[in-house]
Amino acid sequence: MRDTFEYALLRVVPRVDRGESLNAGVLVYCRQRDYLGSRVHLDVDRLRALDPTADPAAISAALQAAADVCSAAVGAGAAGREALGSRFRWLTAPRSTVVQPGPVHTGLTADPDAEADRLLRLLVLPLEG
């Protein structure tokens, strides 16, 4: 049986004024499976190509903060204590910071955790070739 899920990319925009971005994570929410998960990967070489002055450690910390909200990790703050749907909506709300959510998309899945892995490989990790 497959259920509806929603997902959004986490994009790194090292210079908001230029608008250039790189995909650095994915958020996956499936209400029927009571699932909210994330996968993050910051490609530092691609980041440096967009902005040699970008701070990879600070950007990695911001990506990890989003992942912590998904998993309700210690230190996730008030957002980490909200219901899963509320957390997903908070994480995908538009913002003009270095880490920005992309638009929300939907699909069907039998395994939202495996879907998060698949989306990371498909949309975030460097292409093999």
Q: Give 7-17 pLDDT, tens digit per residue.
A: 999 999 999 88
pLDDT reported for residue 73: 64
How far apart are the C-alpha atoms of 117 and 8, rounded to whole Å?
13
Q: Give 79-109 pLDDT, tens digit per residue.
A: 767 889 999 999 999 988 899 999 999 999 9
pLDDT reported for residue 83: 87
pLDDT reported for residue 8: 98
Amino acid occupying residue 100: Q
Q: Give 24-81 pLDDT, tens digit per residue.
A: 999 999 999 999 999 999 999 999 999 999 999 999 999 999 999 988 765 667 776 7
pLDDT reported for residue 16: 85
pLDDT reported for residue 76: 63
Which pLDDT band, with edges at 50, 70 and 90, does 128 fall under? Answer: confident
Name the residue ranges covered by the structural domains of the chain: 3-123
Would you call 103 helix, strand, or coil by DSSP?
coil
Exposed e or buried b per residue across 78-109, where buried means at least 16 C-beta atoms within 10 angstroms of its C-beta: ebbebebeebbeebbeeeeebbbbbeeeeeeb
Helix axes 84-92, 56-71, angle to 10 degrees: 150
The answer for residues whose C-beta is within 8 angstroms of residue 43's C-beta and 6 or more apart is: 22, 24, 126
Please state the rounded mean pLDDT for residues 108-114. 97
pLDDT reported for residue 74: 57
